[in-house]
């Protein structure tokens, strides 16, 4: 165990030279922002770089510009984006609660985000207004020897696919990882404690102010009305608890640095995708936190449509790179033209009469209604026997989510043959081994 953790730290802790270079870069960016920002706004380095908990080769530099409340949201967004355009290369404007700008400065990825300068996190005007308080709290309370414990926990979460609170992952945020180390002091203590997380779990550093709906809660020490773990899905929590137990029993470095899933050959992949059907489209220009909930919603809406028309859904999948897709695996993509529609039992006279009236001489009926097993039945023609035709005809009628609804006319129906192009996604999707066992 000790040797493994030392090896992990050797790979994830930045060297003194790397730290020095990063500090020089952040100072340069801060100076450039300060030269351009309004005099009543404050520039602040936030996130893991500010806290000293970032991982080598996996760091983003985050600067917030804190504006007084007199500024309109649009005004401070425009100022921030204008500053970013002058400082950053390859910049793009991102859209979350506030528009912000992302780009590169001397090969480092940098976000510059506007927020409001408030006296207390409870007085926040928007969600991002808490972030400076989070940074200050960790800087003040996290002991130096705990920083590498945070790094170990973050890398473990990355290795098992549970790191990141964004909608794409629904895992542990960096801030939650830091708070867990503040609470339990070491990486191994967090893993041990996780084995006791059963039923409703509420963790706090400073007491609890309110009732929470979620089953797993870590009360935010800077805003006790907030659950830091609210974005953590039940599936990712359960998987972390399981992986922690497995690591304690049999520690391996592959928990931190898993091998890639085995590459499926084209013939095998084609076979696995045989009964998949879905929609493909160019990824809309929105952040993943807005896009992924809509991909999930689209999958649920397609599933509902298919089920209503007798198609049995086995699995769902969605992914977004430059191109995005939502796909469902069906038991069968083509159904028989005729199905038996089961009616009421014979003793329910009124319902039997209504059934006969509806289906006698109905153009969808094949033959007359009949009795089987004490119930009325009738053979009827299906409106849709082909899943592809169903989706094509009904796509405009179902709700895929705000942004996806706007591009329905650009979507195409895609089958397994087309979906093969997303090979990296499918290698991971179909891999039956846990990340640490590959």
Specify the CATH number for the domain of residue 390: 3.30.70.590
Look at residue 438 in the predicted model and tell me its pLDDT: 93
Q: Look-up: residue for tokens 């100076």?
A: 31
Per residue in 4-14, pLDDT (tens digit) is: 999 999 999 99
What is the end-to-end Cα distance of the chain in Å, rounded?
20
pLDDT tens-digit readout, 358-411: 998 898 999 999 999 999 999 999 999 999 999 999 999 999 999 999 999 999
Q: Do 324 and 238 belong together in one domain?
A: no
Backbone torsion region of residue 374, taken as left when φ is above 0, otherwise alpha when ψ lies between -120 and 50, otherwise beta = left
Specify whether 313 is located in the same domain as 405: yes
Structural domain for 203, as ranges: 144-255
Chain segment 174-206, per-residue pLDDT in tens:
999 999 999 999 999 999 999 999 999 999 998
290 occurs within a structural domain: yes
The domain boundary, picked from 203, 222, 255, lies at 255
pLDDT of amino acid 57:
84
pTM of the complete model: 0.89
- Look at residue 209 and tell me whether its pLDDT is greater than 80: no
Give the per-residue pLDDT at 287: 82
User: The domain that contains 32 carries what CATH number?
Assistant: 3.30.460.10
| Model pLDDT for residues 315-329, shown as the tens digit of each residue | 999 999 999 999 999
pLDDT on residue 58: 83
Q: What is the CATH number of the domain that holds 342?
A: 3.30.70.1550
Cβ atoms of 79 and 70 closer than 8 Å: no
Assess if residue 225 is contained within a domain.
yes
Could you tell me if 65 and 197 lie in one domain? no
Q: Can you list the positions of beta strands (E) in 331-406?
A: 338-345, 370-372, 375-381
pLDDT tens readout for residues 12-37: 999 999 999 999 999 999 999 999 99
Read off the pLDDT band of 94 (50, 70, 90): confident
303 shares its domain with 278: yes
Q: Is 2 contained in some domain?
A: no
In a domain, 354, yes or no: yes
Domain boundary among 206, 224, 255: 255
Q: Based on the domain organization, do 28 and 176 belong to the same domain?
A: no
Question: Same domain for 391 and 377?
Answer: no
Question: Do 83 and 208 have their domain in common?
Answer: no
For the residues of 190-243, what is the DSSP string, one character each? HHHHHTT--SSEEE-SS---S--SSSEEEB-TT-TT-BTTTT--HHHHHHHHHH
Residue 419 domain-assigned?
yes
Residue 421: inside a domain, yes or no?
yes
Q: Are residues 75 and 99 in the same domain?
A: yes
Which pLDDT score, from 0 to 100, does residue 121 have?
79
Of 96 and 284, the structure prediction assigns the larger pLDDT to: 284
For residue 40, pLDDT over 80 is answered with: yes
**DSSP assignment, residue 55?**
B
Percent of residues, the chain, with pLDDT higher than 70 = 100
Write out pLDDT tens, residues 120-177: 877 888 888 999 999 999 999 999 999 999 999 999 999 999 999 999 999 999 999 9
pLDDT for the residue numbered 299 = 97
From 141, 166, 188, the end of a domain falls on 141
The answer to whether residue 260 is domain-embedded is: no
When pLDDT is averaged across residues 399-427 and rounded to a whole number, the result is 96
Domains in the chain, number: 4
Cα–Cα distances (Å) from 391 to 7, 176, 401, in that order, read: 51, 41, 16
> How much of the chain exceeds pLDDT 90, in percent?
91
Q: Which of 133, 131, 175, 139 is nearest to 157 (CA)?
A: 175
Mean pLDDT of the chain: 95
Asked if residue 97 has pLDDT above 80, the reply is: no
pLDDT of residue 124: 82
Same domain, 17 and 33: yes
Pair (158, 86) in one structural domain = no
Band (pLDDT 50/70/90 cuts) for residue 218 is: very high
- Is the same domain home to 277 and 411? yes
Cα 272 from Cα 429, distance rounded (Å):
11
pLDDT at residue 80, rounded to an integer = 97
| Per-residue model confidence (pLDDT) at position 212 | 93
Which of 56, 63, 54 is closest to 26 using CA atoms?
Answer: 63
Q: Are residues 132 and 159 in the same domain?
A: no
In-domain check, residue 16 = yes
């Amino acid at each position: 165990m000790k040797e493994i953790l030392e090896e992990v730290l050797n790979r994830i802790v930045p060297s003194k030279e790397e730290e020095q270079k990063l500090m020089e870069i952040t100072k340069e960016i801060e100076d450039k922002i300060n030269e351009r920002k309004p005099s009543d706004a404050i520039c602040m380095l936030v996130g893991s770089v500010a806290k000293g908990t970032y991982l080598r080769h996996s760091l983003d530099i985050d600067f917030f510009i804190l504006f007084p409340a007199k500024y309109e949201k649009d005004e401070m967004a425009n100022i921030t984006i204008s500053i970013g355009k002058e400082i950053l290369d390859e910049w793009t404007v991102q859209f979350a609660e506030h528009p912000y700008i992302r780009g590169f400065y001397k090969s480092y990825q940098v976000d510059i985000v506007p927020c409001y300068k408030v006296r207390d996190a409870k007085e926040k005007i928007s969600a991002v207004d808490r972030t400076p308080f989070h940074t200050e709290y960790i800087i003040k309370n996290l002991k130096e020897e705990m920083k590498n414990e945070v790094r170990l926990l973050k890398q473990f979460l990355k290795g098992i696919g549970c790191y990141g609170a964004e909608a794409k992952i629904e895992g542990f945020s960096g801030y939650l990882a830091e708070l867990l180390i503040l609470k339990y002091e070491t990486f191994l203590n967090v893993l041990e404690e996780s084995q006791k997380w059963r039923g409703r779990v509420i963790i706090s550093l400073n007491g609890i102010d309110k009732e929470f709906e979620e089953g797993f809660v870590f009360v935010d020490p800077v805003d006790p009305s907030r659950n830091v773990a609210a974005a953590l899905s039940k599936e990712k929590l359960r998987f972390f608890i399981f992986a922690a137990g497995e690591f304690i029993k049999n520690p391996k470095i592959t928990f931190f640095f898993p091998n890639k899933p085995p590459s499926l050959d084209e013939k095998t992949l084609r076979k696995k995708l045989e009964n998949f059907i879905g929609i493909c489209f160019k990824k809309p220009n929105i952040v993943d936190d807005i896009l992924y909930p809509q991909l999930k919603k689209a999958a649920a809406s397609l599933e509902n449509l298919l089920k209503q028309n007798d198609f049995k859904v086995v699995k769902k999948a969605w992914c977004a790179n430059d191109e995005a897709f939502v796909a469902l695996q069906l038991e069968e993509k083509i159904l028989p033209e005729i199905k038996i529609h089961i009616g009421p039992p014979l003793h329910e006279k009124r319902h039997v009469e209504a059934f006969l009236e509806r289906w006698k001489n109905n153009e969808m009926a094949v033959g007359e209604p009949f009795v089987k097993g004490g119930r009325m039945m009738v053979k009827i023609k299906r409106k849709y026997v082909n899943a592809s035709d169903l989706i094509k005809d009904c796509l405009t009628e179902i709700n895929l989510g705000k942004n996806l609804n706007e591009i329905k006319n650009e979507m195409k129906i895609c089958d397994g043959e087309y979906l093969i192009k997303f090979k990296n996604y499918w290698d991971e999707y179909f891999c039956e081994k846990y990340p640490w066992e590959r």
